Amino acid sequence: MTKVLIIEDELIIALHLKNILKSFGLDVLEICSNGEDALESYRVNKPDLLFVDIDLGIGITGIEVVEKIKLENEVAAIYLTSHDDDVTYMKVKATNPIAYLKKPFDEIMLRTTIEVAFQQYKESLLKHKELEKKNSIKEQYITELSETNSHLITATWRERELKDELQKTKILVEKQNKNILDSINYAKRIQKAIIPKLENIREDLPHTDWMYKPKDVVSGDFPYYFKKDNLLYYAAIDCTGHGVPGAMMSLIGCLLLNDILSDKEVYSPAEVLSKLHARVVKTLNQDNSNNKAADGMDVAICCYNTATKKLEYSGAHRPLYLVRKGEEIIQYKGGKYPVGGNQYKGKNNYPNHQVDLLPEDVVYFFSDGYPDQFGGENDLKFGPKRIRKLLEKNSDKSVNVNIQILSNSFDDWMEGKKQIDDVLLIGIKFD
C-alpha cells in the first residue's frame, strides 16, 4: 500500500484530503502542519508520496521541505496550493514534483493525477534502477524524467490557466461580489460533497425521505449517514449559525464523525456524541480558558442494526418521534446539552435509548429550524406540538407523503415571511 504524508497547515483541508486519500486505498501516515515536523516525520516514516502545501505559515515553506528531503532521497511530491505567480511556479518546477494542483481541487482530478503521475513516477524509478544495474546512461534517464515531469506540470499549468480565463470572464459579470460569491460557492461545493445522497441511503433504507430547506445558499444543518458492516448510523445535525459559518461547522462535524465511526470499535449513539463533543472542544480550542466561544451543534443520531432489527437513539437537544398507525406519538428525548462548547464543564452527557420497533413503524427527527419558525395569524412559532399533531393525523400515510405534508404546512405557516433558520427533517419507515 502506498504510504502518504500530508504537509498542510489548514486542519480542515488536511482532514478532507485525508478522507479522500483513504477512500482511494492509500495509507495516510500523518498530517504535519509545519516544515520542521514534516522533515522529522519523513525521516521516521519514509513515505512514498508527499502532498505539500506551499505556504505553511511560520517557518520554512513546502518547497523548502521538498528540497531538503530530495538532498537525501528521491521522493514523489504533489503540490496543493492557491499560488498563481510565475516565480512560485519556477521554484516548484525546480523540485521536479509529479504534479501541481490548484486549490480548490476536486476528487476526480485528484484521483486521476495520483494514478497517472505516481504510476509514471514509479515506472521512471524502475527504469532508473535497471539502467544503474547495466551501468548505462544515467544522464539520459535524468533528462527523460525531467522532461516527463515538465510535460505533466506544463499540462497541469495549462489547465489552471484555462480555469483562470473562465474565472476572469465570471469576474466581469459578478465583479462587485466576487470575493463573497467565491467564498459561498466554495463552501457550497464542499458541503455538497459531504452530504449523503438520498438514493444511496435508500439502497439500505428504501422508505427514507427528508425535508431540507437551507436558509441561505449553504446550510448549518446537514443530514449524515455512515454504513459500518450491518450497522447504519444516520443523523440530523444542526450547527451553530447558518450560511458560510454554519457550513464550516458542518464540515468540521462531518469530518470528525467520519473519523470516529471509522474506528474498529463499535460505538452506541450516545458514545458517538460524547466522542464528538470532546473532539469539537479540542478542534476549536474551547478548553482554553481564554476562549469564550460556545460554537457547537445539536444532534439527533440513530444506529439501526440490519441483522437484529434493533434501533438505538441518542440526542443533544433534539428528540426522536416514533409514529405508529392510529396511536399517539412516542417521544424519546435527547440530552439537555449540545455537542461542543466547554461552558457546561463536563455536563455534556447523552442518554442512549433502545427503541422497540414494530413492522411499519416510522421515526422522525429534525433540527430546530422547523418548530422555531415564526408565522401564522399571530406570528408565533410553529412549535413541536403542531408537528406531532400532523404526524399523528397522517400516521397511515407513507413517509414521502408525510414529508410533503410537513413541507407544505411549513410554507403555509410562513405566509411569505422570511425563513429564520435552516430546516432539516428526516423520516424513515422500517419494514
End-to-end CA gap in the chain: 41
Any idea what the Cα angle at residue 16 is, between residues 14 and 21, rounded to 5°? 90
In this prediction the pTM is: 0.62
Count Cβ atoms within 10 A of the Cβ of residue 122 and give its class: 0-12 exposed, 13-18 middle, 19 or more buried.
middle
The DSSP secondary structure of 97-108, one letter per residue, reads -SEEEESSP-HH
Residue 90: predicted pLDDT = 87
**Which among 217, 234, 216 is positioned nearest to 226, based on CA atoms?**
234
- Which pLDDT tens digits describe the chain residue by residue (431 residues)? 889 999 998 888 888 889 888 988 889 999 999 999 999 999 999 999 999 998 888 889 989 999 999 888 888 899 888 777 888 888 888 888 888 888 777 777 778 777 776 677 677 667 766 766 665 555 665 676 667 767 767 767 777 777 787 787 688 667 666 776 776 777 777 778 788 999 999 999 999 999 999 888 888 889 999 999 999 999 999 988 777 777 788 888 899 999 999 988 899 999 999 999 999 988 888 877 777 667 889 999 999 999 999 999 999 999 999 999 888 999 999 998 899 877 667 677 899 999 989 999 999 999 999 999 999 988 999 999 999 999 999 999 999 999 999 999 999 999 888 999 999 999 999 87
Give the domains, in start order, of the chain with CATH numbers: 3-173 (3.40.50.2300), 186-429 (3.60.40.10)
List the helix and strand counts (H, then E) for the chain.
Answer: 13, 17
Torsion of CA 206, 208, 212, 218, to 10 degrees: -50
pLDDT score for 383: 94
DSSP state of 176: G
